Chains A and B, each alone.
Chain A
Amino acid sequence: QQQVKQSPQSLIVQKGGISIINCAYENTAFDYFPWYQQFPGKGPALLIAIRPDVSEKKEGRFTISFNKSAKQFSLHIMDSQPGDSATYFCAASRYGNNRLAFGKGNQVVVIP
């Protein structure tokens, strides 16, 4: 059962451009939606997270947009830098239940 689906699978962006990664979920009981960033040889690191009571959350160059009716949320990386090149995972869980359901991951490559 694919509870969380990510798209696109991979993304190549010019330095300074905007990277957009989309995620769709199935379980309407989910109410916590984090994005994780993973560099080669490292574990996933929490980047930013949102709850469905807001439609957008911004932290520095990273923004999550959330659409509850469509059961979708997306990560926007503004002014993408080569150091942002990584794999990005969306995830979802029910608040208070730490069983994160992860998406398959998107590889983002930012070229100079």
Chain B
Amino acid sequence: EPEVTQTPSHQVTQMGQEVILRCVPISNHLYFYWYRQILGQKVEFLVSFYNNEISEKSEIFDDQFSVERPDGSNFTLKIRSTKLEDSAMYFCASSEDGEKLFFGSGTQLSVL
């Protein structure tokens, strides 16, 4: 069964450093998303991406965040200068129809 793949599964970084979280969406999907879950809290929407541009972003997705689809298979989330409060599990998701979302297993980001 096709699945969304995320790498790395764990990422530890120092505050102020840049991180790139990588995702390979399901191959025929057109809609791509990033969500995050801070420990003990709910899953929160960050950004949606369609047709090579951001279609919607949340208040969390400020200028420190960016997304890119550098080639036909990868979808990345970059955090330019990480803060302690960026520590969370980051989930990538993709969808064929913009409705049913398929999530990856997540990248646990720890900012020290």
> A residues near B, CB below 8 A?
32, 34, 36, 41-46, 49, 89, 91, 95-105
Contact = CB atoms under 8 A, between A and B. Distances in A.
A49 B43 CA distance: 17
Interface in B86-112: 91, 93, 95, 98-106
Task: Bin chain B's interface residue count.
Answer: 20 to 34
A98 B99 contact: yes
A44 B103 contact: yes
Contact of A105 (B4, B42, B99): B42
Nearest to B48: A98
Nearest to A49: B100
Contacts of A105: 42-43
Contacts of A102: 35, 42-44
Interface in B29-65: 31, 33, 35, 41-45, 48, 56, 58
Contacts of B106: 42-43
Given A89-B42, A98-B31, 16 more contacts: A32-B99, A42-B105, A43-B4, A43-B105, A45-B103, A46-B101, A89-B43, A98-B99, A98-B101, A99-B45, A99-B56, A99-B58, A102-B43, A102-B44, A105-B42, A105-B43
